[in-house]
Structures are given as C-alpha cells and as structure tokens.
Structure 1
Amino acid sequence: MRKRSIPGTALTPSVICLGSSHFGDTISRELAFELMDRFVDWGGTFLDTAKVYCDWVPGERSRSEKIIGEWLSARGSRSEVVLATKGAHPELESMQISRLSRADIQSDVEQSLRNLQTDYIDLYWLHRDDPERPVEDVIETMNELVREGKIRYFGCSNWRSQRIEAAQQAAVRMGLQGFVASQTKWSLASYPPASDPTLVSMDAKELAYHRETGLTAIPYNAQASGFFSGRYRSEMLQEPTAANQKVWKMCSEDNLRKLRAVEALSEELDLSMTQVALGYLLSQPFPVFPISGCKTVAQLDDSCAAGDVVLDRAALAALEGSAAR
C-alpha cells in the first residue's frame, strides 16, 4: 500500500487509515487484533480512534482506545504506527454542552494516553467545535500539549472551513502550529441533512476550501456505509425493501446515478466498487487519507487494495459528472 506525507508534518502514513469506531462494540477484541495485524501485513500504518468510541454501549468506557493500546503493547509496534485519536467531544447524554475548554482538552489527552498505553499521540483531533470558543484559546492549548511532547500534531474533526481558517490565521499571527488536517464526513455519495448539527459533511464550500488551501482531509464514512461496496446494485434500490433498509436514505437520484457510474468503472477498470469509490477520494488534488471502518477481514482486504488505486481524469469526470447528466 502506498504511503504519503501529510504536509506540514513529519508523518508519512499509509493512504488508507484503519478506523476503529466499533472496536469493543460489534467488533470483539480478538477480531480487532486480527484486523490490525492484517492491516499491518498490507503495509498499513495509520490508525484512527477516539476517546468516546463505544461509550454509547453500557459498561467500560473508551473500549476502542483500550483495545488499540493493548494491541500496541502486545505487538511492540508503537513506533511503526501513526496513531490518531480524538477528544473534546461533548458527553453523549448532553451533546449541547461543549467540552472545548483547556481543562477538557488536557484531561481527555491524559486519559487517551493512558488508554492507548503510550506517552505521545501522533495526530490529535478536536472531535467537535464550539463556535463560541475563541480560536486563539484553542491554538494556545494545543501548542502547549505539543511543547509538552504529549501530541505531535493536531487537527480538527467536524469543524467548518470558516472556523478552520480563523484558527489557521490565528496560529500564523501567534507564530504557533496550526491544524494539519481536517476530518469530516465525506465520500463519493451526497448525504441527506444530518440530524446531529455538530456533524460536518464535505459539501461544495468545504471541498473548495481544501482545494484552495491544500489542507489534508482524512474523511470518515468514506465508504458511504457500504453504499458503493458492491452489496447493493442500482437495480436493487428502486424501492425500499428489507434488504436495502440500511442504505435507503442514501438512494437519491443523485446517488443512484453515481452508483451506476461506479458500477461501470468497476467493470471497465477491473476494480471492486469499493476500490473505485475510495480511489475517487485518493485521486483528489490535495492529500486525502480515507478512514475505512472494516468489520471483516474480507472488507479490510478490499479497502487496502484501494491504497494503490489512482483514477485518471476521465474516470474522475465520469464519477463527478454522473450527477450532472
């Protein structure tokens, strides 16, 4: 699998990032270990987690981070992995109450370090934004953590471009490190409006910002919940059924046209549909590292094979133009 540098950092991770939001939930500790081992076999080096992952399940908290920490300790592979985690997420029972204060961020970083059994985090994400919080305070807090050696670099997750740009300008004025990447919901698919207002999807405005600035994107839901996995063919999605219930909300005219374009390119290029959809993200004019939340080894193999896919202009035009015919 290819590796690529994240501009403004010394990090050169694999272009496919292994997501872990279900480690400790629908993915057992044993399967999580198997997936991470297989990922490394593919040349994968980029792991993404979050302090809050699996906290929606009763019982032990931060299970995803803890499983990864156990795996890193058992394999002795910490130095070979680019480790990313997220903090400053509101408590799940009170999502309207922000946790972006200096104390919240510092507390979450300390807890993540313990969970992950490491003394540093390569890339630390601020999981949610608080538009009322001055960006100068955030930048100062993150740089303090960098100076302490607890994190190497930091990015933002679910932040809108105007807030990102304000933070970047503040970092320049203050002579400090700024965001090195942004993590938003993004795939080839177009998404219906989110019920959670704190989530940010890659729309035309956000995409234009990345193209103009070159800011690295590390998208979650990069496979559109399996919409382009090959499990669903366009002829199966003409009306809601028990078999397509999971993705029916994605079945807009726009997305069905994109699905047909992926089907055609899959046959033409001898790639799986997953590889075409991930290849679309990997072929953007700025660095993109899609997060793949695999639940089986077969899904992992399919996603990792996309790490060597680069689509040409004609293929990208076919995918991007599919919604405009």
Structure 2
Amino acid sequence: MDYSHLGRTGLKVSRIVLGTMNFGELTDEKASFAIMDEASEAGINLFDTADVYGGPQSPDMEKGFGVSEEIIGRWLAQNAGRRDRVVLATKVYQPMERGPNDKYLSAYHIRRACEASLKRLQTDHIDLYQMHHVDRTTPWEEIWQAMEQLVREGKITYVGSSNFAGWDIATAQMTAMSRNMLGLASEQSLYNLTQRTVELEVIPALRHFGIGLIPWSPIGMGLLGGVLKKIEGGRRASERMRQQVDKLRPQLEAYEKLCADLGEAPADVALAWLLHNPVVTAAISGPRTVEQFRQNLKAPSLRLSDQTLSKLDEIWPGPGGEAPVAYAW
C-alpha cells in the first residue's frame, strides 16, 4: 500500500481510505468485521465514518444512527493493538437527536457529539474530526474554540472539513491562523470523472493552504465501475441509475472501451485518475462486501500515461480549468 501525507501535516495515511457508510445499513456486522480485517491486512490505515452512518441519514431519527461507529468500536475492542494501527476519522454536524441543539456546529453540539462518538468508537481519541457540512450560522471563532478545546484535552488530533465551498475553506483557515492553530488538515468533497466542479475553486483553495483532498464517491455511485457491462450481464439497476446511464451512455461507452483497451478495471482507472492529482491525499472506497473492497486495492499502483489522462479529459471534460480563467478569460 502506498502512503501520503494528510495535506501539509506530518501524518501519513494510506492512499485508499476505508469508508464505512454502509456498515450497519447495507453491510451487517460480520461482513463489516471481515472488510476491516481485509483492510488492515492490506495496509490501509485510514478508516472513515460519521456519527450519522449506519441508518437513514434523516432528521426523522429512525433507528440506526451511530451504528457504523459502534461496529468499528467493537472491532477495535477485539484486539488491543488495533487502535494504534488505525487513523480513525469521524464527522460531526448531522442531527443526532430531536432537540434544537443536537445538530450543526455550535460549541455545545461539537462537545457533546465528540463525547458520544468516543463512547461508540470505544476509544479515548479521534485522529481526524471532520465537520460534515459547513454551518454558516455559527461563527468560526466559536467553532475553532470548541475544536481547540478538544485538541487540548487530547480527544481529537486533527480537524477536517467535508462538503465545503472554496470560500468556506479560506474563511475557516484564515480564522484558524489568526488563533495560531493548524486549522484544516483535509477536506472531503464529491469528486470523480463525472463530477469535476471542485476543480474551479475548492482544489485551488486546498492547494494554496496545503489541505489534503479526500474525494468521496470516486466511482460516481457506480457509474464508473463498469456499469454498462454489469447491466448487460444481467445486473439490476435502480431507476435513478438507469436514467443516469441513458443520459451518459456515449461517454460511458467510450470510457469502458478505453479501460478495456488498457486492460484495466473501470473502477481502478477512476480511482487512479484521482490519485494522479497532487492535491488528492487519498480516495474513499466504501464497499458493501469484501469482494468489492478487494477490487479497489490495485488503484494506488496503477500509473496512467499522459495520453490516457488526456483521453479521459476528452471523455469526461472538466469545467475548463480553475476560476476565473475557466469562465472569464
């Protein structure tokens, strides 16, 4: 397994992240344990979860919230040495109870949410505590005060963000710097060959501040995983997936042909394309089964030629560069 620094920090993480959003909802505990065993044996050291994972992510508060963290906690508790081999990442923001202060990024909620995550994960510290979404109703001074307190108490080590706009990243980082804090170590964004909007402003902001990018949905919810071949082979697809396939069919046909010509699996090519970007620290693999997980392990060692990268840009064109050059010059 290859490793890279988490942004500008000294922490090294595997270039494939084990995403655990399916744990407890689509993947039962036994299968989740098997996936974590496999990940650990493969050298993957960054496990990503969220307090809300494990059930329907809805403020209706159906049973299931926190289950992913609980499953990870029970896996860690099986072996005393596991915790020290894992860079454990979770998130805060989503509503976890019905009260008015049981969500978002107030200092009140951050403190209580962190304590609850620590309990579910059966650990005394979280290595990367990520803000799941931006909260523009809470001042950054309050958010950073809460995070600083958790760092001081040894309950978290690094702070990350997720789903932030470029100007949110800049605002957050400048406020942190004014407090002599490290600020953000990483950002999780939607980024794949079919979704390249972050190239306009998010990626330039991350590069400027030395913040690592961890793309989620790297294979486009399955679109980049050889969807045409799978459907032709009899795989059932949801109505939404069929609509996307119909919309993108010419590009998908060209993409899967290119992958076939390369002799590589489409999912591996999609992940490898992301890992060629120097701003990208690691890409998330969110498997439902061990077999799905194993399919993603080749990507860090797959090197794509300049010709292949250019061809991928032709098939899946981005926004035209970075802002404002992409649209104003």
Contact 2:101/2:109 (CA < 8 Å) preserved in 1? no
SS in 1 for 2:300: helix
1:231 is aligned to 227
Q: Name stretches of at least 5 consecutive residues in structure 2 with no aligned partner.
A: 319-329
The correspondence of residues 301-312 of structure 1 with structure 2, limited to 5 A, is 301-312=294-305
1:172-223, Cα deviation, whole Å (9 max, x unpaired): 12211200110122221138xxxxxxxxx73633234334444211122112
1:64-87, Cα deviation, whole Å (9 max, x unpaired): 000000001113300001110001
1:72 is aligned to 76
Equivalent of 1:297 in 266, 290, 303 = 290
| Change beyond 3 A, Cα 1:258–1:281 | farther
In structure 2, C-alpha distance between the alignment counterparts of 1:270 and 1:129, rounded to whole Å: 41
1:90 is aligned to 95
SS in 1 for 2:35: helix
1:17 is aligned to 17
1:29 is aligned to 29
Contact 2:151/2:157 (CA < 8 Å) preserved in 1? yes
1:158 is aligned to 163
Judge which range, 14-23 or 257-266, deviates more: 257-266
In structure 1, C-alpha distance between the alignment counterparts of 2:258 and 2:239, rounded to whole Å: 25
| Change beyond 3 A, Cα 1:257–1:313 | farther
1:210 is aligned to 206
Judge which range, 227-236 or 10-19, deviates more: 227-236
Contact 2:186/2:213 (CA < 8 Å) preserved in 1? yes
In structure 1, C-alpha distance between the alignment counterparts of 2:238 and 2:114, rounded to whole Å: 40
Q: Are positions 1:184 and 2:178 aligned together? A: no
SS in 2 for 1:122: strand
Contact 1:215/1:287 (CA < 8 Å) preserved in 2? no
SS in 2 for 1:188: coil
In structure 2, C-alpha distance between the alignment counterparts of 1:116 and 1:96, rounded to whole Å: 22
Q: Which has the higher strand share?
A: 2
TM-score, scaled relative to structure 2: 0.85
In structure 1, C-alpha distance between the alignment counterparts of 2:304 and 2:279, rounded to whole Å: 14
Q: Are positions 1:267 and 2:245 aligned together? A: no
| Change beyond 3 A, Cα 1:278–1:251 | same
Contact 1:23/1:29 (CA < 8 Å) preserved in 2? yes
Ranges of 4+ aligned residues in structure 1 off by more than 6 Å: 92-97
In structure 2, C-alpha distance between the alignment counterparts of 1:246 and 1:315, rounded to whole Å: 29
**Which amino acid in the other structure matches residue 231 of structure 1?**
V
Contact 1:4/1:12 (CA < 8 Å) preserved in 2? yes
Contact 1:51/1:87 (CA < 8 Å) preserved in 2? yes
SS in 1 for 2:90: strand
Contact 1:6/1:287 (CA < 8 Å) preserved in 2? no
| Change beyond 3 A, Cα 1:319–1:209 | farther
- Aligned-pair distance for 1:319? 1.1
1:218-249, Cα deviation, whole Å (9 max, x unpaired): 1221121111112324996xxxx964634234
**Which amino acid in the other structure matches residue 257 of structure 2?**
A
| Change beyond 3 A, Cα 1:3–1:273 | same
1:248 is aligned to 242
2:311 is aligned to 318
- Aligned-pair distance for 1:163? 1.0
- Aligned-pair distance for 1:324? 4.8
**Which amino acid in the other structure matches residue 216 of structure 1?**
G
Q: Among all aligned residue pairs of Structure 1 and Structure 2, give the percentage whose two residues are the same amino acid.
A: 32
Contact 1:139/1:177 (CA < 8 Å) preserved in 2? no
| Change beyond 3 A, Cα 1:21–1:92 | farther
In structure 2, C-alpha distance between the alignment counterparts of 1:51 and 1:129, rounded to whole Å: 16
Contact 1:188/1:277 (CA < 8 Å) preserved in 2? yes
1:195 is aligned to none
**Which amino acid in the other structure matches residue 202 of structure 1?**
V
SS in 1 for 2:129: strand
TM-score, scaled relative to structure 1: 0.86
